[in-house]
Structure 1
Amino acid sequence: MTVVLVDPRRPSLIPIDAIDLLAGDVQYTEEMPIKVPWSLPAARPAYDGDQAPVLLSSDSEHPAVKARLAAGEKVISAPDAAPGERLVDAVAMMDKLRTAGPWESEQTHDSLRRYLLEETYEVFDAVHSGNADALREELGDVLLQVLFHARIAEDAPQNPFSIDDVADSLVRKLGNRVPAVLAGEPVSLDEQLAQWEERKALEKSRGSLMDDVPTGQPALALAQKVIERVSAAGLPADLIPAAMTSVSVSAGSDAENTLRSAVLEFMEAVRRAEHAVAVSRRGDDVPEELDATSLGQVSEAEWRQHWPSGEQDGNDRNAETDEVTETDEPDETDAAEEADEAGAAEGADEAQTEVEQAADSAR
């Protein structure tokens, strides 16, 4: 007497050790897809007649299965599920929800953005708390967002993709970024990090260090990302403004917006400096379109030489103020001379009046 347990996800895949047994009298439990018993020469339901030598089932909790196992019958079961098998179930469930769920069917990438952000912060909180159960649950919520966005993308009229395409992109990326590790070759931490950054740069082919920096992230995270990127590119630290490296919080102020504005201005300064470096390198006889090619490594001297200096702008403004002072405002000497001239004129008028009065008296 034998119980044959198959994988409920793939009930038609029969363990090779059970093939000969299924050629004889077999009973099956009712959850089995009907095509499976129909393909067997002598299969009948578990409730039909006396026990057959073999019971075929995909449900280890079925009463008939449990009764036979309790009686000590032999078990032939499918191999244990490989890691990731439950992901297949999650994908199928998400597909069902997207198709039949009134709320799920109306969602878009844009409408789900806030949920993705909220779930990400909740993962941060779970990591900080050290609660493994909470972390498992919150990671599941983030996975739901990934599955949801991928399922929405399947319905896109232009450039659709599926969760398999998402996984394929990840597999290809990791295969290209860390081939030595995946091939089992010995590699040091420094070598792995260097290889990762080198291959990442080749993949991205950025025209600017600031390309593909997500500016929609919180201002503090944005500042950190930008500082990390320019520091790795050799930008002198003193060119990074203090408004980006320190945050002042007070009642009535918008620290988030203030920091974001400072970071966005700095990003624009980096782009202008990169363009200036490209112009200086290509020469006058090279088409300007070639400025779009990757700069490669920019030296500290190049950063300093082509950096749009705020101090220079301030000096220019001071010069303009000085020019206005010299041309439009009288200095102290001019004012004194004008006062003397006015006093002399007033004295002459008074003298003229006295002469006229004396002449009248004489008459």
Structure 2
Amino acid sequence: MTVILVDPRRPALVPVDAVELLTGDVQYTEEMPVMVPWSLPSARPVYSGADAPVLLSSDRQHPQVRARLAAGERLIAAPASQPGERLVDAVAIMDKLRTAGPWESEQTHDSLRRYLLEETYELFDAVRGGNLNELRDELGDVLLQVLFHARIAEEATQHAFTIDDVADALVRKLGNRVPAVLAGESISLQDQLAQWEERKAAEKMRNGGRFSCVDDVPTSQPALALAQKVIARVLSAGVPAQLIPASIVTVTVAADKDAENELRTEVLEFMDTVRAVERAIAANRRDADVSNQLDGAAPLGVVSADEWRRHWPVVVDEPLDDPLAPELVSGDDDLLDEVDAVFIDSDDEEFGVPELAVEDVDLAEPDQPSSVEPQ
């Protein structure tokens, strides 16, 4: 006497050890899909007549399954569930909700944006709080957003994709970014990080390249996070810290100030400046016979600190206490020496910046800070 348990998600997949047994007298439990018993020559429902030598089921908790196993009958079962199999159930539920749910069927990528942001913040709070039960629940809420957006994308008239396409893209990305780790090789943390960045850059090149070091930085993130991301990007691209303006390094919060929008505006303007300087550097690097080449035709590659300084259009506006900040020009006897340290490319017509002469400098009173601005 034998009990054969199949996977309820794939009831037609039978363990190889059970194939021969299914050719004889078989009973099946009522949850089995009708096509499965129809495919068996001698199958009959459970409770019909005497017990058959073989009971086929997908429900380990079925009374007949439990009774026969308790009596010592042989068990042939499908392999144990693998991690992630419940994700299949989640995908199926999302599909049903999208198809039959009055609210779910009306949602779009745009209408779900606020929920995605809200769930992300709640997940952040759960991580910070350290409660694993809350963390599990909030991860589920974020997963729902992923499944929801992927299900909506299936209906797109152009460039449609499925949740499997999302998973495939992730698997291929990780396979390309960390091949040594996935191959079981020993690798140091530094080498892994370097490999990740190198292969990430290669991916960008294959996808058309990223001309600017601040391209693909998500600008809709909170202003402070945006500022931190942009600062990290430009520093890694070789921009001297002295060129980062004080207005995005130091944030003032006050009741009468909209600090969020003010900081965002400053960061976006700084990003525009970086892109303009990159275009100027690209133009300066061109040979005479390719003068008509488009500015963004190819990534810049390595840019030296000197190149950044020579093409930078303005001087940082205020002194910074932060280690990133330079000493700025003040109205004292060293003023002209300080001006000599400002690098402005007078040949760059894109910015329209004239040469900085002594008469361009507004000499303030000694107790008043002065600034250097191109006229």
> TM-score band (shorter)?
0.7 to 0.9
Per the TM alignment, residue 14 of structure 1 is displaced from its structure 2 partner at its CA by 1.0
Q: Is 2:61 the counterpart of 1:61?
A: yes
Q: After superposition, what is the alpha-carbon deviation per residue over 1:237-259, rounded to whole angstroms, capped at 9, x for unaligned?
A: 11111111121111121110111
Measure, in 2, the Cα distance between the counterparts of 1:46 and 1:150: 41
The residue type paired with residue 30 of structure 2 is: E
Tell me which residue corresponds to 2:330. none
- CA RMSD of superposed structures (Å): 2.1
For residue 283 of structure 2, the aligned residue among 279, 301, 309 is 279
- Check the 8 A contact 2:243/2:315 in 1, yes or no: no
- Check the 8 A contact 1:21/1:54 in 2, yes or no: yes
Tell me which residue corresponds to 2:143. 143
Tell me which residue corresponds to 2:333. none
- Check the 8 A contact 1:282/1:291 in 2, yes or no: no
DSSP 3-state at the match of 2:288: coil
Measure, in 2, the Cα distance between the counterparts of 1:287 and 1:215: 32
The residue type paired with residue 240 of structure 1 is: I
Q: After superposition, what is the alpha-carbon deviation per residue over 1:61-80, rounded to whole angstroms, capped at 9, x for unaligned?
A: 11111222222222111001
Residues 317-332 of structure 1 aligned to structure 2 (within 5 Å): none
Residues 324-343 of structure 1 aligned to structure 2 (within 5 Å): none
Measure, in 2, the Cα distance between the counterparts of 1:321 and 1:297: 33
- Check the 8 A contact 2:108/2:152 in 1, yes or no: yes
TM-score, normalised via structure 1 length: 0.84
Measure, in 1, the Cα distance between the counterparts of 2:301 and 2:355: 32
Measure, in 1, the Cα distance between the counterparts of 2:239 and 2:360: 31
- Check the 8 A contact 1:279/1:288 in 2, yes or no: no
Q: Is 2:163 the counterpart of 1:163?
A: yes
- Number of residue equivalences: 322
Q: Is 2:307 the counterpart of 1:307?
A: no
Tell me which residue corresponds to 1:238. 242
Measure, in 2, the Cα distance between the counterparts of 1:315 and 1:206: 32
Aligned-pair identity in percent equals 70
Per the TM alignment, residue 314 of structure 1 is displaced from its structure 2 partner at its CA by 12
Measure, in 2, the Cα distance between the counterparts of 1:166 and 1:68: 43
Q: Is 2:203 the counterpart of 1:203?
A: yes
Per the TM alignment, residue 288 of structure 1 is displaced from its structure 2 partner at its CA by 3.6
Tell me which residue corresponds to 2:18. 18
The residue type paired with residue 71 of structure 1 is: A
The residue type paired with residue 203 of structure 2 is: E
Q: After superposition, what is the alpha-carbon deviation per residue over 1:321-342, rounded to whole angstroms, capped at 9, x for unaligned?
A: 98xxxxxxxxxxxxxxxxxxxx
Per the TM alignment, residue 148 of structure 1 is displaced from its structure 2 partner at its CA by 0.6
Measure, in 1, the Cα distance between the counterparts of 2:193 and 2:294: 30
Per the TM alignment, residue 149 of structure 1 is displaced from its structure 2 partner at its CA by 0.6
Q: Is 2:98 the counterpart of 1:98?
A: yes
Q: Return the structure number with greater helix share.
A: 1
Per the TM alignment, residue 315 of structure 1 is displaced from its structure 2 partner at its CA by 10
The structure number with the bigger radius of gyration is: 1
TM-score, normalised via structure 2 length: 0.82
- Check the 8 A contact 1:153/1:162 in 2, yes or no: yes
Q: After superposition, what is the alpha-carbon deviation per residue over 1:209-235, rounded to whole angstroms, capped at 9, x for unaligned?
A: 121111111101111110111111111
The residue type paired with residue 198 of structure 1 is: E
Per the TM alignment, residue 20 of structure 1 is displaced from its structure 2 partner at its CA by 2.0
Per the TM alignment, residue 150 of structure 1 is displaced from its structure 2 partner at its CA by 0.8
Measure, in 2, the Cα distance between the counterparts of 1:82 and 1:153: 27
Q: Is 2:188 the counterpart of 1:185?
A: no
Q: CA 1:11–1:178 in 2, change beyond 3 Å: closer, same or farther?
A: same
- Structure 2 unaligned spans of 5+: 317-343, 345-352, 363-375
Measure, in 2, the Cα distance between the counterparts of 1:287 and 1:32: 72
- Structure 1 unaligned spans of 5+: 323-363
Per the TM alignment, residue 192 of structure 1 is displaced from its structure 2 partner at its CA by 1.1
Measure, in 1, the Cα distance between the counterparts of 2:78 and 2:202: 45
Q: Is 2:231 the counterpart of 1:224?
A: no
